[in-house]
Amino acid sequence: MSTTFQLDTSTSRANPTPAPMKRLTVPKLRKRKQDGVTAEPLVMLTAYTARQAQLLDAHCDLLLVGDSLGQVIYGLPSTVPVTLEMMANHGAAVVRGSYHAVVCIDMPFGSYEGSPEKAFESAAYLLKQTGAAAVKLEGGEAMAPTVEFLVRRGIPVMGHVGLTPQAVNVLGGYAARGKNDAEAEKIVADARALDEAGAFAIVVEGVLEEIAIEVTGAVACPTIGIGASAQCDGQVLVTEDMLGMFERVPRFVKRYENLAGTISAAAAHYAEEVRARSFPGPDQCYQSG
């Protein structure tokens, strides 16, 4: 039994009527890179809620429902404890809140590594539950057969090489990768394997700039950098990091706003008025007559 996803045309606060907009597709994004060159870099940000998706959608080519939600939303120490159900719930919210960008969902740790068949079961669940267009998984050459298995069965896959957060326990931390020849060669080989397996794009995270540039030139599909190089075919950041919601962020993050300070100041102002009994005022109260 198939599920048909329809746009909510209500005018509620949660689902305001969007301006007419045609959603991008995976093939269109893949074709942005022609003869090794992407004329206009791809823009990707993370999104975890419907409202966040509404605010970001018109500005992005892709919205990534990242397993970083484990840390950003749930306060977990890493992405490892994130579950398939968590990704499905947030993925569905982001799809409901977006009408333009391609929505891609991270496959959480333990949901795809066991076998290609297990990966297909997990990926099919995510796409059925959410209406998203694609999934993302971490790993290089070892995951290439799985990527090919999924793509051949109609599931678009984004790869992820370099610093792979789900492997933090093996890597021993979040330090940049590719600082020696062996690591650098493996990152390039991993990217080539994913490209040949049919990945429509590859995230390149936390690597030396020259390696990111080499990877971008070595693969036919677009690369999306995070802590990599402006010469990648696109860029992604965790939205909350970019908006200044946290005091500590990775070195490669640029803060475009300081929303943590704005929110804290607004809460302080609200608390002050409540304690002074100046809120609610006449404009916020219902009167008889």
**Annotated catalytic sites, by residue?**
205
**Partners of residue 157 on adjacent β-strands:** 135
Among 99, 96, 127, 95, which Cα is nearest to 111's?
127
> Strands 223-226, 33-34: parallel, antiparallel or unpaired by DSSP?
unpaired
What is the residue whose two structure tokens read 């090919």? 148
3-state helix, strand, coil in the chain (%, to 5): 40, 15, 45
190 labeled binding residue: no
Torsion angle of C-alpha atoms 144, 147, 153, 154, degrees rounded to 10: -140
How far apart, in whole angstroms, are the C-alpha atoms of residue 64 and residue 24? 14
Q: Give the list of residues 6+ apart from residue 165 with CB closer than 8 angstroms, or none.
A: 67, 68, 78, 79, 138, 174, 205
Helix ranges, the chain (H)? 26-30, 50-56, 69-72, 84-96, 116-130, 144-152, 168-171, 181-197, 209-218, 239-242, 259-275
Tokens of 229: 């190089």
The answer to whether 33 is annotated as binding is no
40 is in an annotated binding site: no
- How are beta strands 234-237 and 223-226 bridged, if at all? parallel
31 labelled as ligand-binding?
no
**Residue 29 contacts residue 62 (beta carbons within 8 Å):** yes
Bind-site residues for Mg(2+): 67, 106, 138
Bind-site residues for 3-methyl-2-oxobutanoate: 67-68, 106, 136
Bind-site residues: 67-68, 106, 136, 138
